[in-house]
Every structure is written in C-alpha cells, then in structure tokens.
C-alpha cells in the first residue's frame, strides 16, 4: 500500500526513519504555505502521526478527505475530535502502558522537590550563598496526605509510590476496589489532602476543574502537582492563589498554552516548572516509538490496533 503520512511534530530519528520506510512522509511543522501544500497533497494523506500535546486541529482534519488513522505518540487524546473521527471512520491510536512509570516517577520527584525546596537549594549552592548562612527550612514529605485526582493507570502508579510516604486518597468518576479513601469530588479531595496530584484525563468535564474553590480548599499549607494536562487547572486562578498565599506552592509539568508559560509562574519562587517532560526518558520514548509503529503496521495489515481508542 502506498501510504502518505502527515507528521505533525518532530520525533526521534529512529521513528522518523521507520515512518519513511513505510511510505511518503510530509512534515507539517516545516510547511511554509499550508494552503498550497494541502491543495497538492491533502487528497492523498491517509495517516497523521502526532503528539498528544498537539493532536490535530479540526479544521486541518476536515481538509484531509482520505484520512484513515491518527496515531498519537502519547496517551492524551484531548486534542483530537473523537466524535468526528468516529463519524468519518478514522481510527485513533495511542501508546498506553509504556509511559506510566515515568509519569508516576516524575510526580513523585516533583512532590519531593516542591516540599523540600530542592531547586532553590541547588541555586543557593551554585550562586555561592552558602557562605552567607543557611537556607530557610523546607517541609517534610513523609507523613503527608496525598490526594490523587484520577485513578487510572498513571494515577494508580502514583498512588502506589506515594503510599510509601504517607496516606493516599483519590477522586475518580467511580469508586474502585483499592485500599485508598475515596472522595466524591475534587473539592472534598482538596479539603482532605496536603498535596493534590492531578492524573485525570482532560475532557470537557474536567476543563478548569481546579479552580478558585478547589484551590481555597487545598489551603495555604497545601500543594498542587500537575502531570496530566494544563487544561485541568484554571491557570489565572492558580496564579492568583499563589500570589496571595492561598496555597503553599505548585509543581507543573503541563500548562494551558504550551510552550507559552506566563511570567507570573516563571518568576514565582513557589513554583517548580518542567517543560512537559513526564515521559521524556530515552527508554520510554523508544518504547513509545515502537508502540506508534505497532499501531501503524497493524493498520497497514488490516489487523486490530493494539492502541486503538476509536
């Protein structure tokens, strides 16, 4: 089959080489004249390969009449119009399971770094300030109550790790058979916990779920950690809560408008920022690439898609 693929963002050299071995690949992120490109190639593109953080815009998908599959290098699919894909018979795949450990590990690392003030301590030494005296005391991690919003694969892996440090509670759409306390709403979970860790899916019902009320429930000694999606948090309200000491701090790997991060967050000493790197290890990105190709090859062969969600 002569497959033409639209590649939405850069990937590893190995994955890009393997995609080219399977057919013609067009690099959308390098296209300078989109209308001219689409006039020439849109009719022939059958596969889109993209990242979960960018997906494919509905207006672009609408201009690809021969599209048959969207392969996501990641687990997030909030940037894909699944209803439209189902209507058109466009298959959608993700790379489940392979990034769970890395995302959970980063959630733990961010939590420890946030409470213990590790980035500030690093700067303290590098800037030669140790000779001037000691840094202010940080805060204990062990013995805390950790609330996890979203107990899917990643949330469950975070819960397993955080249970070694303290007590775990969770919020989800349904109660699960797990040894953690269940809370009916994000507000109740925030009232109970010391550290609120976000691991839930991003969709219309969870957009802005962490707003003013939840942040106030978390309180001036509470911390927010987000390794899920930036859309879960009302970013403007978070900035206000940090500036007015309504919460103690936040660690964020994801943002509302990536890669644009507000200066108020970048300049805050109460915030740890990472550039959406939860799955960014050599090992996991290799496994994700293999999962993308497994979905691609299954599609070409007319076989069930291992990571199919639509």
Please name the residue that has the structure tokens 């000493």. 269
Q: How far apart are CA 216 and CA 132, in angstroms?
A: 36
The Cα-based distances of 182 to 188, 217, 218, 229 in angstroms read 10, 17, 16, 22
Q: How far apart are CA 147 and CA 107, in angstroms?
A: 12
Q: How far apart are CA 22 and CA 24, in angstroms?
A: 7
Specify which residues 72 forms β-bridges with.
50
Look up 276 and say whether it is catalytic. Answer: yes
Neighbours of 165 (CB within 10 A): 18
Cβ contacts of 107-110, under 8 Å, gap ≥ 24: 107/158, 107/161, 107/162, 107/197, 107/199, 107/225, 107/227, 107/278, 108/158, 108/161, 108/162, 110/225, 110/227, 110/251, 110/253, 110/272, 110/274
Neighbours of 259 (CB within 10 A): 8
Nearest to 166 by CA among 251, 108, 220: 108
Task: Give me the catalytic one of 84, 97, 135, 258.
Answer: 258
Residue 197: which H helix or E strand, with range? strand 195-198
Token couple for 239: 């900035």
Task: Give me the catalytic one of 26, 229, 237, 285.
Answer: 229
How is 79-138 classified by DSSP, letter by letter?
TS-HHHHHHHT-EEE---STTHHHHHHHHHHHHHHHHHTHHHHHHHHHTT-GGG-PPPP-
Residue 259, preceding peptide bond in cis (omega within 30° of 0): yes
Token couple for 79: 């940037």
Look up 258 and say whether it is catalytic. Answer: yes
Q: How far apart are CA 198 and CA 21, in angstroms?
A: 39
Task: Give me the catalytic one of 91, 144, 161, 276.
Answer: 276
Residues annotated as catalytic are: 229, 258, 276
């Amino acid at each position: 089959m002569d497959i033409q693929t639209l590649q939405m963002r850069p990937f590893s050299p190995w994955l890009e080489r393997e995609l080219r071995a399977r057919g013609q690949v067009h690099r959308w992120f390098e296209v300078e004249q989109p209308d001219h490109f689409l006039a020439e190639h849109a009719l022939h593109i059958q596969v889109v390969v993209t990242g979960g953080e960018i997906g494919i815009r509905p207006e672009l998908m609408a201009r690809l009449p021969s599209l048959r599959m969207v392969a996501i290098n990641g687990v997030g699919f909030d940037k894909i119009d699944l209803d439209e894909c189902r209507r058109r018979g466009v298959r959608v795949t993700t790379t489940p399971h392979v990034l769970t450990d890395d995302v959970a590990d980063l959630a733990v690392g961010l939590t420890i770094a946030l409470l213990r003030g590790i980035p500030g301590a690093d700067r303290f030494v590098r800037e030669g300030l140790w000779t001037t005296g000691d840094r202010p005391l940080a805060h204990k991690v062990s013995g805390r109550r950790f609330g996890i919003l979203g107990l899917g694969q990643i949330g469950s892996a975070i819960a397993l790790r955080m249970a070694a440090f303290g007590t775990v509670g969770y919020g989800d759409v349904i109660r699960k058979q797990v040894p953690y306390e269940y809370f009916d709403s994000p507000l109740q979970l925030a009232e109970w916990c010391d550290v609120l860790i976000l691991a839930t899916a991003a969709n219309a019902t969870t957009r802005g779920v962490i707003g003013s009320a939840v942040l106030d429930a978390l309180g001036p000694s509470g911390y927010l950690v987000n390794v899920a999606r930036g859309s879960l948090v009302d970013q403007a309200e978070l900035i206000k809560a940090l500036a007015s000491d309504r919460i103690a701090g936040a660690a964020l790997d994801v943002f509302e408008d990536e890669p644009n991060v507000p200066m108020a967050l970048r300049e805050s000493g109460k915030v740890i920022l990472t550039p959406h790197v939860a799955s960014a290890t050599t090992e996991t990105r290799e496994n994700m690439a293999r999962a993308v190709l497994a979905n691609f090859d299954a599609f070409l062969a007319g076989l069930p898609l291992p990571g199919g969600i639509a």
